[in-house]
Amino acid sequence: MALVAGVGCCGRGGKAGNQPPVEAEANQMDSSTDNGNDGNGGNGDGGGSGGDATASAPPPSASEWSRFELRDAGVSIEHRAGWATIEEKQIVYQRFSNEGAISVRWGADATIDYVLAHTGTGSGSTRAVETDEATKVDGLPARRVKLRVTSPPVRGTHPTGDPVRVFVFIGFAVAGKPVLLGYRSPASELAAVEPQLERVLASVRIL
């Protein structure tokens, strides 16, 4: 989860200047468009390189976690050392594998309604809403959804990556400002990394 130590800047490493451009690398891990992309980082519904980067990694030690403030979003959250951190306008996210990412986004389109309108709806993908439920984030009312998006077969090429991706988003508001937490993972990687991802989501505190 990408985190900020001050207003509008990354707590570690600042802006990731050596990272690929957002569109090439991911549709950011926001819930934005799935018109050829699936909205949670990665290379779109067509697959991408998608190695199982997390499958054999041991659980992180306590020293690998730090708390950072995202003051523009009005929250603080735990940050996982060793995951590449990228900051863009109104979104900070971390990549934990070639096609896996977790983020905090804020602003007008950082809502569950926006997620449901855009994620997993393009390029012939099929989408299942596995859960849609009320929850709380540090005492604030929130809404959590889990989506499973399956990419269509890629004709004329050898398949790459995992065609099935899982998305989890939590939307809420801080002082009237929409905030969206979430992650996206290839289904084949999720079991190995899910405890860490859920730890990040559960770590959110209101400033």
pLDDT tens readout for residues 95-148: 999 999 999 999 999 999 999 999 988 778 899 999 999 999 999 999 999 999
Q: Which DSSP state fits 79?
A: E
State the virtual CA torsion across 41, 184, 39, 78 in degrees, nearest 10: -70
**With the C-alpha atoms ordered 157, 37, 165, 25, is the resulting torsion angle positive or negative?**
positive
- CB of 106 closer than 8 Å to CB of 73: yes
pLDDT tops 60 at residue 18: no
Q: Using 50, 70 and 90 to split pLDDT, how confident is the model at 171?
A: very high
Contacts of 113 by beta carbon, 8 Å cutoff, 6+ apart = none
Mean pLDDT of the chain: 76
The domain made up of 4-206 has a fold known as Protein Transport Mog1p; Chain A (3.40.1000)
What pTM did the predictor assign? 0.72
Q: What is the end-to-end Cα distance of the chain in Å, rounded? A: 17
The CA distance from 67 to 54, in Å, is: 22
CB neighbours (10 Å) of residue 133?
A: 9
| Average pLDDT of the segment spanning 2-10 | 35
- CB of 45 closer than 8 Å to CB of 38: yes
pLDDT tops 50 at residue 49: no
Q: Using 50, 70 and 90 to split pLDDT, how confident is the model at 156?
A: low
Q: Extract the tokens encoding 56.
A: 């054999």
Q: Is 155 helix (H, G, I), strand (E, B) or coil?
A: coil
Percent share of the chain, pLDDT over 90: 53
The CA distance from 166 to 128, in Å, is: 10
The CA distance from 84 to 170, in Å, is: 22
Contacts of 190 by beta carbon, 8 Å cutoff, 6+ apart = 166
Q: Using 50, 70 and 90 to split pLDDT, how confident is the model at 59?
A: low
**What pLDDT score does 204 carry?**
96
